[in-house]
Amino acid sequence: MAHIVGGIATSHVPAIGRATAQKLQGDAYWKPFFDGFPPVRRWIDSVRPDVAVVFYNDHGLNFFLDKMPTFAIGAAPCYTNADEGWGIPQVPAIAGEQALSWHIIESLIGEEFDLTTCQEMNVDHAVTLPMALLWPDQNWPVKIVPVCINTVQFPLPSAKRCFALGEAVGRAIRSWGSHQRVLLLGSGGLSHQLDGERAGFINKSFDLAFMESLVHDPRWATQFDTTQLVEKTGTQGVELLMWLAMRAALGDKVERVHSNYHIPISNTATGLLVLSSPA
Ligand code: DHB
Ligand code: FE
């Protein structure tokens, strides 16, 4: 059976793509953010994943307001990067692990999760920036299965439902008849609001409490409804749902390997968390 090696959650601010292209990693503004990643890459080298299941939110590239699935999953041979308007350099296409995609689809629809299945799918900065932070040479050593959660058009799925989705994805991965080693990624957050009266809103104490909860009390955030999450984290801060689904897929016991938190990058409080699953 497949083995989940652990999970990584990170923010995906588009400006990271520009800073990478312009090699600004050592600049005073960027260093506290990029310095979070070398320990993560060393950990990845030690756990040797074959596949990454990526919980992310599309920002209007592959799905627009006219057709917005609550939960969607890729089952494509390959995921091309396109730019939904942030002007950041594109990355090479990423191969899909179709066998795992279809196993998760069978398993989740069997458990009565009504997923949208996508045999063609473009991916935006929410997939490509975490990938490029983990593998800066962009010579991807893993295939991926993207799992997309709507945080763009209301009504959004609740934190409780995203947790249940993550748990079901974790069960599906563990029941996959393959010896592959699976890494989980959660892309988004932490607190940020890009527009409106509260543009620039950040909530450090909530972010840190949320990060801590993922280690010791993973259901903590499921007590909040969507309105409360927007109040506490900003309209785009609800992207923390990706972290929650990723954590739920890891199962009961995890160990914290590494974390980082830095304010701000652009309008966002950036967080980074690496959790390992016991063998
Ligand atoms: C920013 C953050 C995001 O999560 C995003 O998708 C786009 C922009 C920002 O802070 O600039
Ligand atoms: Fe985003």
- Angle, helices 240-250 vs 159-174, to 10°: value is 40
- Does residue 276 fall inside a structural domain? no
Is 195 inside any structural domain? yes
Q: Is residue 109 part of a domain?
A: yes
Q: What mean pLDDT value characterizes the chain?
A: 97
Mean pLDDT on 107-113: 98
Structural domain count of the chain = 1
Question: Can you give the pLDDT at residue 143?
Answer: 98
What is the pLDDT confidence band of residue 5, given thresholds at 50, 70 and 90? very high
pLDDT tens-digit map of 17-30: 999 999 999 999 99
Is the per-residue pLDDT at 86 higher than 90?
A: no
Q: How far is the CA of 191 from the centre of ligand 2 (A)?
A: 10
- Ligand 1 environment, Cβ below 6 A: 12-15, 59, 192, 194, 236, 239, 266-268
Say how many Å lie between the CA of residue 239 and the centre of ligand 2: 7
Q: pLDDT value at position 100? A: 98
Measured in Å, residue 156 CA sits from the centre of ligand 2 at 15
Is 274 domain-assigned? no
pLDDT value at 153 more than 80:
yes
Task: Look up the pTM and report it.
Answer: 0.98
Q: Tell me the residue range of the domain where 40 lies.
A: 3-269
The ligand 1 atom at the shortest distance from the C-alpha of residue 265 is 10
Secondary structure of the chain as H, E, C letters: CCEEEEEEEECCCCHHHHHHHCCCCCCCCCHHHHCCCHHHHHHHHHHCCCEEEEEECCCCCCCCCCCCCCEEEECCCEEEECCCCCCCCCCCCEEECHHHHHHHHHHHHHCCCCCEEECCCEECHHHHHHHHHHCCCCCCCCEEEEEEECCCCCCCCCHHHHHHHHHHHHHHHHCCCCCCEEEEEEECCCCECCCCCCCCCCCHHHHHHHHHHHHHCCCHHHHCCHHHHHHHHCCCHHHHHHHHHHHHHHCCCCEEEEEEEEEEECCEEEEEEEEECCC
Residue 279 lies in a domain: no
Give the confidence band of 66 by pLDDT, cuts at 50, 70, 90. very high
Give a yes or no: residue 278 inside a domain. no
Per-residue confidence (pLDDT) for residue 196, from 0 to 100: 95
d(CA 211, CA 25): 24
Our mutation pick for probing the ligand 1 site, out of 13, 127, 262, 265, counting the most ligand atoms within 8 A of Cβ, is 13
User: Does 246 reside within a domain?
Assistant: yes
Q: Which of 253, 166, 260, 248 is nearest to 208 (CA)?
A: 260
What pLDDT digit, counting tens, does each position of 204-258 carry?
A: 999 999 999 999 999 999 999 999 999 999 999 999 999 999 999 999 999 999 9
CATH number at residue 38: 3.40.830.10
Q: Indicate which residues carry an active-site annotation.
A: 125, 192
Q: Residue with the nearest Cα to atom 5 of ligand 1?
A: 13
Has residue 118 been placed in a domain? yes
